Structure 1
Amino acid sequence: MSRLKEINPRLIRRKWRKMQFADAFKPILNGTVTLNHRNMKCLKDSYKSSIWKLEIKSGHTSMPVILKISKQLRKPRPESTVEKNIYRRARKVLQPFMPRIYLTKRNINGRDLWVFMEYVEPVKGQVEYNPDHFDRIIPTLARLHAATMNEKFLRHKEMFAGWLPRFDSEEMLAERVRLNKATLQHLDEAMHIPKLKAIVQPYYSLLRNILNKGPGYFPEVSQAGLSIVHGDLHTANMACDNVKELVWDVKFIDWEGAKFAPCWFDLVNLIGVFLAYRREWKDEEEEITKRCVQLYADEMRKNGVVFKTDPMKLYQMAYLKRVLERGLYLQLNWAVTGKKEAKLLRVYLEKIRVLEKKIGLH
């Protein structure tokens, strides 16, 4: 395999001319389009992607554009394939919930995928993000879930077949079984590491008892509805051009974690994970959660989805299910191996004890 060329302004300018990318923007700017080579900024570059903010012009009109280049990997990661296909194949369904996709082109620099999309200002950096902002995000999230729930997703199943992970698939069930066994193993390993034993021991018997019953906790969460979920909702993955207004036009970006899964998982990420990191809101956590859960249920009802089970109970079950089936594994794995700091381990352990006592396990 020939060595891929470094992604830099010169390469982008050359490919812009050679591939005649300007033609895709003629209908938008109503005229001959040029790339302003003096205004090209790399926003992020990693082993898997390179993201650039470009400026295109036609006469006296100009507009910013994002170029996201998904790089060719020697060992393609499943989540990388998911995001590529979100941009290439799923626009018909997901376009209202992500920046407008102007053009996608494969095999530009080796087997890289180049995606030109609308520039929407990231939420991060625009506001001092706090729980009040959940109210601005939840209506859009509810529309995404309602638009792709159950039979509405199945109408487009051929569009997503073969690449979008499905929570109800044999593959994902097998993965949950694997993680369950690995969690039990890490739990025992933690008991042989003095500093971790001090954290884990008060919860050890409870955790082993619960994990030996898993996975597959709380079938009510899946029965409440499966939809396309974003999977990684935090400020860096949300964009909005009107954050000074009461009603936000939110767009979700970075769809690597997308899957067809219980809709409540996104709310657990949006609210539960945020509050787990931001302990300064601990005293208000219950009030914040109740308000957001009720708003989500109300917004889903507006979009034709009515939950038969009490929404707060569904949220609590989804939280516990998500932690037991994945979150606890990650925290224990990082703690035992030292790969990362297990910042949420103590919070998750206490949450498991509190929620298990409150709603039981079945």
Structure 2
Amino acid sequence: MTCLKDSYKSSIWKLVVKSDAKRIRVILKISKQLRKPRPESTVERNIYRKARKILQPFMPQIYLTKRNINGRDLWVFMEHIEPIHGRVEYGPQHFKQIIPLLAKLHAATMNERFAKQERVFRDWLPHHQSDEAKKERRRINRETRSYLRQAMKVPELRGLLKPHEALLRKLLAKGPGYFPEVTREGLSVTHGDLHTENIASNQLNNPNWQIKLIDWEGAKYAPCWYDLVYLVGIFLAYRREWQEEEEAITERAVRLYVDEMKRHGIEFKTDGMTLYRMAYLKRILERGLYLQLKWAVTGQKEAKLLPVYLQKIKTLSGMLVK
């Protein structure tokens, strides 16, 4: 047994199970029951317990789940698959390995296909169109405008924000219901946190990596394009060495996603790049800008993406907002 991770909310162990001449590597994930359970922890617990038959093609095989261990902990024994983080020099060239699985997940759980399985997800999977989610977006919109006012009083932030202030105020005043087209074009189960530590494969030497997704705490029933924005847009926002190629990289990724969705029977009425740009700007205005301004004002974290988001808002709003 080897402990891979231990925190206040979970522990992850790698086990080697021996039987006769066989050696099987297994991951044991222990979800600890907190005094005040966090919504995302509840989501992941239910993904493993209730939705594993539906989502099994997209995550490691779940061998066994046991509830109420040591009180109310959940133990999940699952297939051992290594995250790709640190095992390859990850870059935009690898999007083509991941997007087909992503499209398959979205197509399998979109709109009327989700409705047939809704009873499995009812009462625990966050829904983008729920009253609670809409209330949360209104709260974030108010607080974003508040943090913007506070940031304008901080000299080192004022210089960064001043050229964008009028546009930000104008856009935020229209929120939080940005670009309804993104919602109308399709809601599906989304992973919500697509980075290399949550993307796993045991076949990196094979052209077909046979990707699986792990750590489903951020799963929601939400616009399908949000996952592509995270996979492509947020990655490129952090990795500015591809800045000059970003548009071409994004167009290739979007074209592949649209083609894969069509292969699974889903066709978008709106142009793919337009939907991607709408979803990207929508996510920034709904949450990304809020977090970056909050961190900049409070010093809670480094607001690394604030300059990038400001430029994105300027560029994308120029393309999309009349």
TM-score bucket of the superposed structures, by smaller chain: over 0.9
Name the SS of the counterpart of 1:203 in structure 2.
Answer: helix
Q: What secondary structure is seen at the aligned counterpart in 2 of 1:210?
A: helix
Match in the other structure for 1:43: 4
Distance 2:172 2:150 in 1: 15
Q: In structure 2, what is the equivalent of residue 88 of structure 1?
A: 49
Q: Does 1:66 align with 2:27?
A: yes
Return structure 1 stretches of 4+ with deviation > 2 angstroms: none
Once the two structures are superposed, residues 304-331 of structure 1 have per-residue CA deviations (whole angstroms, 9 ceiling, x without a partner) of 0001100000000000000000110011
2:234 aligned to which of 273, 280, 297: 273
Give CA-to-partner distance per residue, 1:210-238, whole Å, 9 cap, x none.
00000011011011100000000000001
Match of 1:170 in 2: 131
User: How far apart in 2 are the matches of 1:246 and 1:287?
Assistant: 23
Q: Does 1:305 align with 2:284?
A: no
SS of equivalent to 2:69: coil
1:219-238 correspondence runs (5 A): 219-238=180-199
The alpha-carbon deviation at position 188 of structure 1 amounts to: 0.3
CA distance in 2, matches of 1:168, 1:248: 34
Structure 2 partner of 1:151: 112
> What secondary structure is seen at the aligned counterpart in 1 of 2:105?
helix
What is the distance in 1 between the residues matched to 2:253 and 2:241?
18
Tell me by how many angstroms 1:199 deviates: 1.1
Cα distance, 1:196 vs. partner? 1.0
Deviation string 1:277-308 (CA, Å, 9 cap, x unpaired) is 00011011000000000000000000000011
Residue identity matched to 2:110: M
Q: C-alpha distance in 2, partners of 1:243/1:180?
A: 42
Number of equivalent positions: 322
Task: Trace 1:1-362 onto structure 2 (pairs within 5 A).
Answer: 40-360=1-321
Shift in Å, 1:59 = 0.3
- Report the Cα distance in structure 2 between the residues aligned to 1:272 and 1:286, rounded to whole angstroms: 10
- Taking the aligned partners of 1:60 and 1:242, their CA distance within structure 2 comes to 23
1:15-48 deviation per Cα after TM superposition (whole angstroms, max 9, x unaligned): xxxxxxxxxxxxxxxxxxxxxxxxx111111111
Q: State how far apart, in whole Å, the 2-side matches of 1:131 and 1:237 are.
A: 16
Shift of 1:107: 1.0
SS at match of 1:106: strand
Q: What is the CA-CA distance between 1:248 and the residue it aligns to?
A: 1.9
Q: Which residue number in structure 2 is paired with residue 36 of structure 1? A: none
Tell me how far apart the structure 1 counterparts of residues 75 and 199 of structure 2 sit (CA, whole Å).
Answer: 21
Q: Secondary structure at the match of 1:205?
A: helix
Q: Tell which deviates more after alignment, 224-233 or 236-245.
A: 236-245
CA–CA separation in structure 2 for the residues paired with 1:103 and 1:329: 39
Higher relative contact order (CA 8 A, sep 6+): 2
Residues 252-277 of structure 1: CA deviation (Å, up to 9, x unaligned): 00000000000000000000000000
User: What is the CA distance between 1:241 and its match in structure 2?
Assistant: 1.0
SS in 1 for 2:70: coil
What is the TM-score with the length of structure 1 in the denominator?
A: 0.88
Give TM-score scaled by structure 2 length.
0.99
| CA distance in structure 1 between the partners assigned to 2:67 and 2:53 by the alignment | 19
Give the partner amino acid of 1:72. Answer: Q
- The structure with the largest alpha-carbon Rg is 1
Unaligned runs of 5+ in 1: 1-39
Unaligned 5+ runs, structure 2: none
Secondary structure of the 1:107 match is strand
